[in-house]
Structure 1
Amino acid sequence: MAKKGGLLSFDAFSKTVEDARVKTTSGGLITVTCILTLFSLIINEWRQFNEITIDPELVVDRDRNLKLDINLDVTFPDLPCDIMSLDIMDVSGDLQLDVTNYGFTKIRLTETGEEIGEEEMKIGDDHGHADADIPADYCGPCYGAKNQDKNENKPQEEKVCCNDCDSVRKAYASVGWAFFDGKNVEQCEREGYVKKINDRLGEGCRVKGTAKLNRINGNIHFAPGASYSAPNRHVHDLSLYGKNKDFNFRHVINHFSFGPDVNSKYTAETLELSSHPLDGTNAIQGSRDHLYSYFLKVVPTRYEYLNGTKVETNQFSSTYHDRPLTGGRDEDHPNTFHARGGIPGLFFHFEMSPLKIINKETYGTSWSGFLLNVISAIGGILTVGAVVDRTVFVADKVIRRKKDK
C-alpha cells in the first residue's frame, strides 16, 4: 500500500465510495426542506443587507452660529387677525429676528372657517400704514401720549408728530393707554382703520410662516393688542380684547416645527410623530381670559444621508399647560391652585439642548457580514439536516428490526 503524504494528510473532507451510500425517501424530503429553508434565510439576509437604517450618535452641540428656524401654522377660530400681535423674544428680552428672512402670513377666516384673504403680518405690529394723502408740513396730534412741545433749549431736535394711525397706536402703547378701536382718532378715521376693525370683529384668523432666530432660549407668543416693552416686563394693550366678550384664544395647531423636514424614508415612517408632536393639537377648552402654554425642549439634529447630503434640523418634545387668568383651584385637580395674573394668549416657550443628535444613514449589513451570515446559514442548515436525517434513518432501522422479529 502506498504511503500517504503531502496534502492528503490534511484533507478534512474524507470521501466515501458511492456503493457505501444509502439514499432514502425521508432523506430526500429532509433535503428539499433544507433547500427551501436555506433559500428563505438567504433572501432575508439579502433584504437586510439592502435595508437602510439610522445610526444615531449623541454629541455636544458646537454649531451655535446656526439659526433656529421656526415653522408654524396656527388657526384661531374666535380671534380676528387685526387685533392679534405676534412677538418672538429670547431670554435676554430682545426681539431676536432677522427681519430680512422672516415671513408670516395672516389669513382671515369666516365664522365657518372659510378663508377670505391673506395679508402680510409684521412681528409685534400687524397693522400696516394706509396710503393717505396728507400735506407735506402736516404734524398729527398724539393726543397727549407724547410731548409734542418743541424744546427751545434744543432747537435742532425735530418736533414729535403722529402722522398716521399706527403712530398714535404706538404712542398709546408706550404709556400704557387703552387704544380700543381708534374711534375719534383723526388719523385712524381718515385711514379707515376704525371701520376695518369693526367690520372684522366676527372673523377668525390663521397665521403661518417661518422665522429665523438665534439659538438661545426664548418664546414665541400670540397675544391681543399692540405690544410694548416696559422696565422688566412685556405689555400688551388688551383694551379692544376686553371690550368684546366673544374673543377667545382657543386654537388648532396645524403644524409646528423647528427647521426643515427630513426626506428619509426611514425617518418619514418612524420618526414623524416624534418630530412634529404638536401637529393636529386642538385646544378648545378654557374661557376668554385663559393662558395656553407649550413648553418645548429643542434638540438640534443633523441627518447625514448615504449620498453625502446633510440636513440641519431640530427635534423637540412638548409639555402642555393652561390656566385661567383669574387663578384659583383647578376643577380637575382640587389640590392644585393656579396663579393669578398674566395676559390671555398662546405661548410657545422653547429651551435649547446643549447636546446634538447626528443620525447617519447606513446599510443594515456590510458585504463581509452578509457573506458570513450566508455561509453560517448554509453550514447550520446542512448540519441540522444531517442530524435529523441520521436520527430518522437509525429510528427507521430499529423499527424494521422489531417488525422482523
Structure 2
Amino acid sequence: MSGQRPKLISIDAFAKTVEDARIRTTSGGIITLLCIAIVLFLIRSEYVEYTSIITRPELVVDRDINKELDIHLDISFPNLPCDIISLDLLDETGDVQLNVLRSGFQKFRIIQDSNGHKLEELLDVDSTPLNNDISLEELAKGLKEGEQGHCGSCYGALPQDKNQYCCNSCESVRLAYAEKLWGFYDGSNIEQCEKEGYVKRITERINNREGCRVKGTSQINRISGTLDFAPGASFTMNGKHVHDLSLYQKYPDKFNFDHIINHLSFGAIVPDGLSTHPLNGHSSSLGAKDHMFSYYLKVVATRYEHMLSKKADTIDTNQFSVITHDRPLKGGKDEDHQHTLHARGGVPGVFLNFDISPLKIINREEYAKTWSGFVLGVISSIAGVLMVGTLIDRSVYAAEKAIRSKKDL
C-alpha cells in the first residue's frame, strides 16, 4: 500500500502550498469579494435560465390533411348592401360551393339612424343573392298536361308554350335569367318581384347607402382554393364561374368593395399571444368601383403542447402568412404601381386565395436547460471567475511589488 503512494503523489494535479508560504494582501481580499459577488450573480442567472420555460418549434408532416378546416371570418363592406354580395368557394379539385353564406355565415345590415350613428341589423335569410341549392326544373316546375293552375311568366328566359316551365316566384325568374346569362338588375317591371316586395326592398337599401357585415364560422376541405366576395348572383355555366354584375354596374356613382377585415383565422381560436392573425383590423378604402382585392394566404397547421398541462389540453389550430395585392379592372398602370402593368379584366370583389401547407409546426414547451446543463453552467461560472480572479490578483501583486522595490532604491 505504501508503495502505491509515491505513484499517486506523482500524478496529483492539485498541489498544495504551505500555509506559511502564502501571502495575503488587501487587494487580494477586494478581488475575492468581487469574485464572490460575480459568482453569485452568475449562479442566479443560471438558475433563472434553468427554471424558465421556452417554446421550441418542430416541423413535421401533417397527417390530418383529410380533416375539414374551420374558417372564422368577420368582414365589413361599408359601401355595399347585403343583397348584392355573394360568397363562393372554389378549390383545386374543381368543386365549386356556391353561396357559402348559407352554411355558417350571417349577414348584418350596416344602417344609419336619424343621428347618423351606424347600426347593425341581422339580415333575414330570404335576402341571400340566389338559391343555387334548388334546380331550375324544381323551382320553375311547370304544369302537367291537363293540370289546372297559375303559370307565371318567365319573361322569355324559359320555354312556356306548353306550360313546361312556370315562374311563380321572383326567385324562379332570377334563376331563369341566370341560366340565360341575362342581367336581372333590381327586378323592376317583373310582376313576381314587385308583388313580393323585392324591388322595393332593394331600392330602399341602395338609396340609403347601406353597408354589410359578414361574419360566422364554416368548414372547408383542407385543399387550396379561393373564397371570393363578388357582386350579384353567382352560378356556374359551361365550367366557368360567373356573376351577374348588372345591378352593380347600374349605378356608376354607388358601390365599391372597400372593406375592413375585423377577424380572419383558421382552426381553433386561440389567444393572440399564441397564434398570429395578420389580417385582423386590416382595411382598404380606395373608393374605386371597378377594383379587385386579392389576398394570398399560406396556411400552416400548428399544434401547441404545454409542458404542465395534460394531453387533452393540446391545442390544434392554424397560422397563416399573407401577401396583399389589388389592381384596377381596366388594367394598365396606376399611381401606386408606376413600373407595373396590370392585367385587364376580371370581376370586382375581394378574393381570399389560400394555400394549405402539407407540413405542421409543433410548438412544444420545455425548460430552457436540463439539470446537467445547469450544474455544468454553475461549475463553469465558478471556475472561470476564480481563474480570472487569480490572474488579476497575481498581476496586481506583481505591480505592487515592483512599485515597492523602486521606492526602496
- Give the TM interval when normalised to the shorter protein: 0.7 to 0.9
Could you tell me which residue of structure 1 aligns to residue 226 of structure 2? 219
Could you tell me which residue of structure 2 aligns to residue 287 of structure 1? 288
Find 1:319's aligned residue among 320, 323, 338: 323
Find 1:196's aligned residue among 171, 188, 201: 201
Could you tell me which residue of structure 2 aligns to residue 87 of structure 1? 88
Contact kept? 2:87, 2:99, Cα under 8 Å: no
The 1:335/1:160 distance shift into structure 2, 3 A limit, reads: same
Q: How does 1:144-163 map to 2 (within 5 A)?
A: 144-148=156-160, 160-163=165-168
Shift of 1:291: 1.1
Contact kept? 2:232, 2:244, Cα under 8 Å: yes
Q: How does 1:223-372 map to 2 (within 5 A)?
A: 223-244=230-251, 245-263=253-271, 268=273, 275-285=276-286, 287-306=288-307, 307=309, 308=311, 309-372=313-376
Contact kept? 1:52, 1:364, Cα under 8 Å: yes
Range moving further from structure 2, 304-313 or 74-83? 304-313
SS in 1 for 2:373: helix
Percent identity (aligned): 54
When the two structures are superposed, what TM-score results if normalisation uses the length of structure 2?
Answer: 0.82
Aligned amino acid, residue 259 of structure 1: G
Contact kept? 2:90, 2:97, Cα under 8 Å: yes
Q: What is the rounded CA distance, in whole Å, between the counterparts of 1:121 and 1:277 in structure 2? A: 31
Could you tell me which residue of structure 2 aligns to residue 395 of structure 1? 399
Paired residues in the alignment total 383
Q: How does 1:18-57 map to 2 (within 5 A)?
A: 18-57=19-58
Contact kept? 2:187, 2:193, Cα under 8 Å: yes
SS in 2 for 1:53: strand
Aligned amino acid, residue 373 of structure 2: G
Contact kept? 2:327, 2:342, Cα under 8 Å: yes
Shift of 1:288: 0.3
Instruction: Describe the superposition over 1:188-222 as per-residue Cα deviations: whole angstroms up to 9, x where unpaired.
Output: 33332222222211011121222211111110011
Shift of 1:317: 2.2
Could you tell me which residue of structure 2 aligns to residue 207 of structure 1? 214
Q: What is the rounded CA distance, in whole Å, between the counterparts of 1:114 and 1:282 in structure 2? A: 17
Shift of 1:19: 4.1
Corresponding position: 1:165 with 2:166: no
Q: What is the rounded CA distance, in whole Å, between the counterparts of 2:172 and 2:222 in structure 1? A: 32
Report the RMSD for the aligned CA atoms in angstroms.
3.3
Shift of 1:90: 0.8
Contact kept? 2:105, 2:215, Cα under 8 Å: yes
The 1:349/1:124 distance shift into structure 2, 3 A limit, reads: farther
SS in 2 for 1:221: strand
Find 2:390's aligned residue among 383, 386, 398: 386
Could you tell me which residue of structure 2 aligns to residue 154 of structure 1? none
Shift of 1:67: 1.6
Q: What is the rounded CA distance, in whole Å, between the counterparts of 2:98 and 2:60 in structure 1? A: 27
The 1:123/1:313 distance shift into structure 2, 3 A limit, reads: farther
When the two structures are superposed, what TM-score results if normalisation uses the length of structure 1?
Answer: 0.83
Instruction: Describe the superposition over 1:10-53 as per-residue Cα deviations: whole angstroms up to 9, x where unpaired.
Output: 76444445444333222222122112212221222222222222
SS in 1 for 2:293: strand
Shift of 1:389: 1.6
Aligned amino acid, residue 387 of structure 2: T
SS in 2 for 1:277: coil
